[in-house]
């Protein structure tokens, strides 16, 4: 943690890079440009006074996730992200990027991916844990906002393969795991509050 981060050349570069990558993407079940998500993650991290590297990692977290899903190798990621934004930023994001395959090269099922993601949080550095928490806080609050704007909550929950119960349980599991690995920053309480609000929404 360091002093407040605001606008910088690197942050601007990260947004431009993410905007190009997410150009045709929209948020699940909405018409919102996908970039609204990494932008909000960056705002959340800035609100908590995180370092510039952490904010840049937050902006790029879904770019890296998409690249991993598209089978990019670590070398390709180094060339695409690491050389532009620093090896530290890339390492931070990889720590909280769901994996398709485990260390033995075996493809993970959807449930195994979630379990693997939670297990690997014990190996993540503090910057990565901040990115994880901010990502989940924004996702949970986005669902909450959509629920408050609709008379048909089932259409909102219908976007998620896990449904309401599974989605709420997932955010609770992430918050619990963050506490288990010793990450007790106030953002964890914010995630817990969002999960509790979703449960009663």
Euclidean distance between CA atoms 159 and 175, whole angstroms: 22
Q: Which two tokens stand for residue 195?
A: 């999960």
> Residue 1 above 50 pLDDT?
no
**Chain centroid, CA 196 distance in Å:** 19
Give 200's contacts (C-beta < 8 A, 6+ positions apart).
none
Domain at 9-200: CATH architecture? Orthogonal Bundle (1.10)
> Residue 7 above 80 pLDDT?
no
- What pLDDT score does 33 carry? 80
Lowest-pLDDT range, 5-14, 18-27, 70-79, 142-151? 18-27
Euclidean distance between CA atoms 67 and 100, whole angstroms: 11
> Residue 4 above 60 pLDDT?
no
Query: What distances in angstroms separate CA 32 from CA 72, 146, 187, one per listed residue?
Result: 27, 12, 25
Euclidean distance between CA atoms 168 and 67, whole angstroms: 27
Q: Residue 99 in contact with residue 108, Cβ under 8 Å?
A: yes
- Prediction pTM value: 0.92
Confidence of residue 71 (pLDDT cuts 50, 70, 90): confident
**Chain centroid, CA 124 distance in Å:** 14
Q: Which two tokens stand for residue 31?
A: 């018409």
Question: Smallest Cα–Cα separation from 90: which of 68, 71, 105?
Answer: 68
pLDDT tens-digit map of 16-51: 999 988 887 676 666 778 889 999 999 999 999 999
> Residue 70 above 80 pLDDT?
yes
> Residue 96 above 80 pLDDT?
yes
Euclidean distance between CA atoms 169 and 39, whole angstroms: 25
């Amino acid at each position: 943690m360091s002093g407040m981060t605001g606008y910088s050349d690197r942050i601007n570069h990260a947004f431009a890079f993410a905007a190009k990558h997410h150009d045709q993407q929209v948020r699940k079940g909405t018409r919102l440009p996908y970039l609204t998500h990494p932008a909000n993650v960056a705002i959340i991290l800035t609100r908590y006074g995180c370092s510039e590297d952490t904010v840049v990692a937050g902006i790029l977290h879904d770019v890296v996730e998409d690249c991993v899903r598209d089978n990019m190798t670590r070398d390709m990621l180094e060339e695409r992200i690491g050389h532009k934004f620093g090896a530290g930023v890339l390492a931070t994001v990889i720590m909280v990027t769901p994996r398709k395959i485990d260390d033995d090269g075996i493809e993970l099922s959807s449930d195994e991916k979630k379990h693997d993601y939670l297990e690997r949080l014990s190996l993540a550095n503090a910057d990565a844990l901040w990115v994880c928490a901010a990502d989940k806080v924004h996702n949970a609050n986005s669902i909450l906002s959509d629920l408050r704007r609709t008379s048909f909550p089932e259409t909102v929950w219908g976007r998620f393969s896990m449904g309401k119960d599974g989605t709420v349980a997932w955010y609770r599991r992430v918050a619990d795991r963050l506490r288990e690995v010793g990450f007790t920053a106030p953002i964890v309480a914010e995630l817990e509050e969002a999960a509790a609000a979703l449960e009663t929404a």
